[in-house]
Amino acid sequence: MIAELGLAVLWMAAALAALQLVAGALALRPEGGQLGGLVRPVAVMQGVLVLIAFAALVWLFVTTDLSVKLVVENSHSAKPLIFKIAGTWGNHEGSMLLWVTIMAVAGAFVAVIERRLDERTLIATLGGQAFISLGFYAFLLFASNPFARLAQPAEEGQGLNPLLQDIGLAFHPPTLYVGYVGLSIAFSFAIGALITRNVGPAFARAMRPWVLGAWIFLTLGITAGSYWAYYTLGWGGWWFWDPVENASLMPWLAATALLHSVSVLQSRDALRAWTVMLGVLAFSMSMVGTFLVRSGILTSVHAFAVDPQRGAFILALLAIDIGGALALFTLRVSTVTEGARFSLLSREASLVFNNVMLCGILGIVLIGTLYPLMTEAYGVKVSVGPPYFNPVSAIFAFPMLVVMAIGPLLRWRRDRLTGDRAARVTWPLAVCAALALAVFVGVETLAHHITLLPALGLALASGLFPASFLPLVGRNLRRTPLPVWGMVVAHAGIAVSLFGMASESAFSVERLAALTIGESRDVGPWQVRLDGMMPVAGPNWTALQASVSTRYAGAAPTVLHPMAETFTNPPGTRNESALQTRWNGQLYVVLGEQAQDGRWQMRFWWKPFVPLIWAGGAMVGLGGLLALLGRVMSDLRRLIAKDKIAYRRTRQGR
């Protein structure tokens, strides 16, 4: 009954999306003005219905309804409740329903709260959102029905991939999906503005919170996903340039460029065409990522291997949505006026430069991701990994980081670095540059074995971190707007992450060892000893757990417990790493198999400052949140001021 209810309301939501699209299109005609009143309530009702459908699927997983095919294939009655819930989106059909749910709910929020945008542009925006949603509704209902029943209920479920049975699965995919779908709202805003030829500060003011919100969730989702893979997969790395990792990185790069561009358009009425183009590009990268994950052309722990027909369906959606948007942009871009001009020495120019660098990195990642797939189609297998991505991306990333330190200190429109103004800008930057040079020389002197890129990364991070706080110099900190604080914290977070990345690359120590009980090894400044092995059991797994004593540079010992887990439903194994975190790094321990001579295979890493990678990512997300809160508070103050004016006028009229 619940499955049928979920499927029924999903069909009803699809019908409302079609009505929303038709009503929106007709309302834009001179004779269809009255139909515009339907668009907002229909969008809200569509969001409510899809939310009901998703809640029904969650209930089916929680109760382990073994008459539903999706539940049987991805759940088990013995699974802990959190993994039953997470199993809802730990598969192809459920994750696509989550995608559609977030998209519909986001559209409903736009319909409810957006009052700053011109009504015709808003109607066109909601119509564009309905157009995107219809394609995904069709995909769910005709190719990926999450509510399909079995002819006979199964005796037990098959369970969930052991690698996905981790608390990270409960948060990582939904966070990323909110980011992806937030970019669909930006895409719809861009389409709506092109249709009505209304690209200006008001359009940017309405679009910016959605871009910022999507960017925050993408940042946190990528950061959490990186840490999840780091401690779950047991390979000791935090980023592998896996194609599905790249599929999440590419929308983030485009969204970062879009966020800066839309901010310039909102505050300075510049970069109109560039902002619209980035709005199309950002969601296009989300669609490309969806195709890579859902088409079955990738083999990855992240990817869902599905049949080619589904891949062809998504490819058709990709062509229709992206191709249609690009065609509309080509036809209407000539009607988008240039906007305000600015000089080469200005804050706008620095933002444009960094946007170009971000797009350059995006192009590098896109080529490196798609090239092996294209060559494999012709029977040639190639591997594209860090030797390509790291140095080629650095060509664009390092100049971008330098300009990131300088740009916020420049004035809008035009700046002249003469007299006191030159001293105020150049002296702090000179100090930061000197610090960076000192770090570079020191690293090269003390550690001749490290390569150029990590040394440059350490130097740039050391200079960028203090430079990030220079926009606060001379300000009253209590009156400094939250968006300025957000910019400072986010830029400082980039520096912190870069320092962690460079340190991990430059100074990591790896040790492979075969140990008997009581035997010790040295790993960098650590001494580790295997004290014993014991069996343990969890709700739906058994494991062999090692007891490893660790001692840092003669300090008091601590005990770690890496495990080798065995799952029965479905059968599989997983190595659960053990981590010992200090202020200056992390000891990483993985238990392997027992050799024929009775010794235990172990892997140890000492990774100096590696936690800074994720601490910096959290700082970047926090910076975005501060900027968003500042925007919300500014809007609330504006609304309160308008209400006060309206109240006074009413009193005066009486």
What would the DSSP string read from start to end of 370-433?
A: HHHHHHHHTT------HHHHHHHHHHHHHHHHHHHHHGGGSPSS-----HHHHHHHHHHHHHHH
Condensed to tens digits (0 to 9), the pLDDT of residues 321-363 reads: 889 988 998 888 887 776 778 888 888 999 999 999 999 999 9
Amino acid symbol at 200? G
Rounded Cα–Cα distance for residues 51 and 10 (Å): 9
Rounded Cα–Cα distance for residues 493 and 486 (Å): 10
CB count within 10 Å of CB 538 equals 12
> What angle (nearest 5°) sits at the alpha carbon of residue 371, between those of residues 369 and 376?
115
Rounded Cα–Cα distance for residues 223 and 320 (Å): 31
Rounded Cα–Cα distance for residues 286 and 254 (Å): 10
CB 266 within 8 A of CB 208: yes
Predicted local confidence at residue 352, as pLDDT: 92
Rounded Cα–Cα distance for residues 438 and 519 (Å): 42
Low-confidence residues of the chain: pLDDT under 50: 301-303, 305
Predicted local confidence at residue 297, as pLDDT: 64
Q: Where are the domains of the chain?
A: 1-161, 416-507+611-644, 509-608
Closest CA to 461 of 492, 426, 430, 428: 492
CB 524 within 8 A of CB 604: no
Which residue(s) pair with 581 in the sheet?
Answer: 586
What would the DSSP string read from start to end of 523-555?
A: ETTEEEEEEEEEEEE-SSEEEEEEEEEEEETT-
Total H helices, total E strands in the chain: 17, 10
CB 54 within 8 A of CB 10: no
Predicted local confidence at residue 32, as pLDDT: 66
- Token pair in block for residue 280: 């199309």
CB 514 within 8 A of CB 599: yes
**Residue 23: φ, ψ to 5°:** -65, -40
Predicted local confidence at residue 301, as pLDDT: 46
H/E stretch holding 311 reads helix 308-332
CB 59 within 8 A of CB 85: no
Q: Give the global pTM.
A: 0.92
CB 613 within 8 A of CB 504: yes
Condensed to tens digits (0 to 9), the pLDDT of residues 418-451 reads: 666 676 677 777 888 888 888 877 776 666 677 8
CB count within 10 Å of CB 451 equals 11
Give one word for 371, left, alpha or beta, with left for phi > 0 and alpha for psi -120 to 50.
alpha
Burial of 654 (0-12, 13-18, 19+ CB in 10 A): exposed
Strands 526-537 and 520-523: antiparallel
Rounded Cα–Cα distance for residues 456 and 441 (Å): 10
149 SS3 class: strand
